[in-house]
Amino acid sequence: MFKILGKRELNEQVTLMEIEAPLIAKKVRAGQFIIFRIDEYGERVPLTVADRDTEKGSITIIFQKVGRSTIMLGNLNEGDFILDVVGPLGVPTEIPEGAKKVAVIGGGVGCAIAYPQAKALCNSGIEVDVIAGFRNKDIVILEDEMRAVSTNYYITTDDGSYGTKGFVTNKLQELIDAGNHYDAVIAIGPVPMMKFVCAVTKPYGIKTIVSLNPIMIDGTGMCGGCRVRVGGKIKYACVDGPDFDGHEVDFDELMKRNSAYRDIEQHDREHICRLTGGVVNA
């Protein structure tokens, strides 16, 4: 059993939780993830570790309440317990050798994954430009935390309600055009966003790392659910990733696979219990 030490709502849909997990906190590195299961009937859900506190023996996760399990997790509070938290899983993010300046790009809740990456780079003495993109001002998350680990921090919003109006790709192109030389770009967020970031960087030959979030079940490479095509070869995000060379990822195939169970998930969220008349587990 894993105790919830703290909980904070970052916006209406995104929640931050600190969970007591001393062994994971001791070993986890930026880019790695855990898989949680709320109870013995729950599904296994992967979440990237956003931060850790080795003195408290805790890890921080940030999640969007979009499916049954994340809604159930969001209904728990400080002092409650989660049955299973397994990790750290996946390969830690590799800091580009000899890199002096890196752009870290986060889209929406993807900023929860971009934050530990930016923090690790900053702690290694690398100059970090962070570009964070959101639909509007109301859903901006981790602004103070991101500013603390970046040399320059830029916010874009689709509607222009905060920061610069436009997409992260617009800001990245603007910075490149202004003469910024990036040894690498790390992009984390919705699959279309990562795809278009890679389209911006490819003509300049800038190494671009993306963190992928395909359908995942066991987290050990046995189920094959998280397979992705990278450089024409099949890779498994849980053991080969989640970080990959963005210029080699087949994003179109990834988007099709990620949407395969969308209708089923929607039905699951809205399922009405015939006994109670309520929405099941929501």
How is domain 2-89 classified at the CATH fold level?
A: Elongation Factor Tu (Ef-tu); domain 3 (2.40.30)
pTM of the model: 0.86
> What are the extents of the domains in the chain?
2-89, 101-258
Give yes or no for a contact between 117 and 143, defined as CB atoms under 8 angstroms apart. Answer: no
List % helix, strand, coil for the chain (3-state, nearest 5).
30, 30, 35
Cβ atoms within 10 A of the Cβ of 260, count? 10
Smallest CA-to-CA distance from 155 within 180, 136, 128, 127 is with 136
pLDDT digits (tens, 9 = 90+) for 41-83: 888 899 999 999 999 999 999 999 988 889 999 999 999 999 9
Helix axes 191-201 and 168-177, enclosed angle (nearest 10): 10
Copy the structure tokens of residue 188: 């984390």
Q: How far is CA 97 from CA 61, 121, 134, in A?
A: 28, 11, 30
Cβ atoms within 10 A of the Cβ of 262, count? 9
Give yes or no for a contact between 109 and 132, defined as CB atoms under 8 angstroms apart. Answer: no
pLDDT digits (tens, 9 = 90+) for 110-153: 999 899 999 999 999 999 999 999 999 999 999 999 999 999 99
The arrangement of secondary structure in 101-258, i.e. its CATH architecture, is 3-Layer(aba) Sandwich (3.40)
Which residues make beta-bridge pairs with 122?
none
pLDDT digits (tens, 9 = 90+) for 227-266: 899 999 999 988 998 999 999 999 999 888 776 555 555 5
* pLDDT grade for 282, boundaries at 50, 70 and 90: very low
Give dist(CA 208, CA 104) in Å, integer: 10
